[in-house]
């Protein structure tokens, strides 16, 4: 299943008061594991940045001047999101802003049923506890030392780790087979070859009794295929 972890930065708290989206960061998940594909863009809001907002994300009007306006990046954003589920922390805030931007272009809003709010998920799992993104990082031991200010892509990457903890996604993928492994959020191979094979725990006598039992099942028994290349039961010595 494809999911998109999303975060935005804005000029304020309410699009109805003329505030705009100034940064979008997205991380793609496939079966709860980050694929390495991201979407990140800064946006010129064509307005000033209030001081209180600047203190949160550090994005100034001077920095954003000359960046693309939302109309220029809307198609790329919608193409990246496609029909994936959208995961966001306090998703109502992000969706309200994004849908307001889409509405100004006459585009369809992102449907509510596509959106999962990790804040609501955390509140159900930890009722009465602090469930901000920072609080969840502390609870799960997720390193946020690189996060000196809010940034949409960085926060989306951190939220991907939190989402994995909230949903058990770190154990979502385990593949066995030749050349296969299991990867977690960091992409490390968690399934490694044992350096020395374990010795058999069955004695030779037990194996002999087992083969004699298989002989009673007839030549068509599937178990015979496992013994085709092995020595006859009478030649097996007790370990």
**Catalytically annotated residues:** 150
- Report CA 72 to chain centroid distance, whole Å: 28
> CB of 98 within 8 A of CB of 110?
yes
Backbone angles phi and psi of 3, in degrees to 5 = -135, 155
Structure tokens at 69: 């306006």
- Backbone dihedral region of 58: left (phi > 0), alpha (psi from -120 to 50 degrees) or beta? left
- Backbone dihedral region of 152: left (phi > 0), alpha (psi from -120 to 50 degrees) or beta? alpha
Give the three-class secondary structure for 143.
coil
CA-CA distance, 85 to 68, in Å (whole number)? Answer: 26
Q: Cα(first)–Cα(last) distance of the chain, in Å? A: 49
Query: Would you list the DSSP string of 68-93?
Result: PPHHHHHHHHHHHHTTPEEEETTHHH
Taking 3-state DSSP, the helix, strand and coil percentages for the chain, each rounded to the nearest 5, stand at 40, 15, 45
The beta strands (E) that lie in the chain are given as 2-10, 21-30, 33-42, 85-88, 115-117
- DSSP element (H, E) containing 162: helix 152-167
């Amino acid at each position: 299943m494809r999911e998109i972890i999303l975060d935005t930065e804005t000029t304020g708290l309410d699009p109805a008061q003329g505030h705009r989206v100034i940064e979008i960061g997205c991380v793609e998940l496939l079966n709860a594991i980050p694929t390495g594909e991201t979407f990140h863009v800064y946006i010129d809001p064509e307005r000033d940045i209030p001081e209180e907002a600047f203190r949160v994300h550090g994005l100034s009007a001077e920095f954003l001047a000359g960046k693309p306006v939302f109309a220029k990046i809307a198609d790329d954003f919608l193409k990246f999101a496609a029909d994936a589920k959208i995961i966001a922390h306090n998703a109502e805030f992000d969706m309200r802003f994004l849908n307001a931007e889409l509405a100004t272009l006459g585009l369809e809003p992102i449907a509510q049923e596509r959106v999962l709010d990790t804040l609501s998920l955390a509140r159900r799992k930890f009722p009465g506890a602090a469930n901000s993104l920072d609080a969840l990082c502390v609870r799960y031991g997720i390193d946020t030392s690189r996060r000196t200010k809010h940034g949409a892509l960085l926060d989306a990457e951190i939220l991907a780790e939190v989402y994995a903890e909230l949903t058990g996604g770190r154990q979502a993928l385990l593949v066995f087979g030749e050349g296969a492994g299991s990867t977690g959020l960091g992409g490390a191979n968690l399934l490694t070859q044992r350096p020395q094979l374990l010795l058999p725990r069955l004695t030779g006598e037990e194996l002999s009794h087992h083969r004699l039992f298989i002989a009673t099942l007839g030549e068509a028994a599937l178990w015979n295929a496992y013994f085709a290349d092995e020595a006859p039961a009478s030649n097996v010595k007790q370990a």
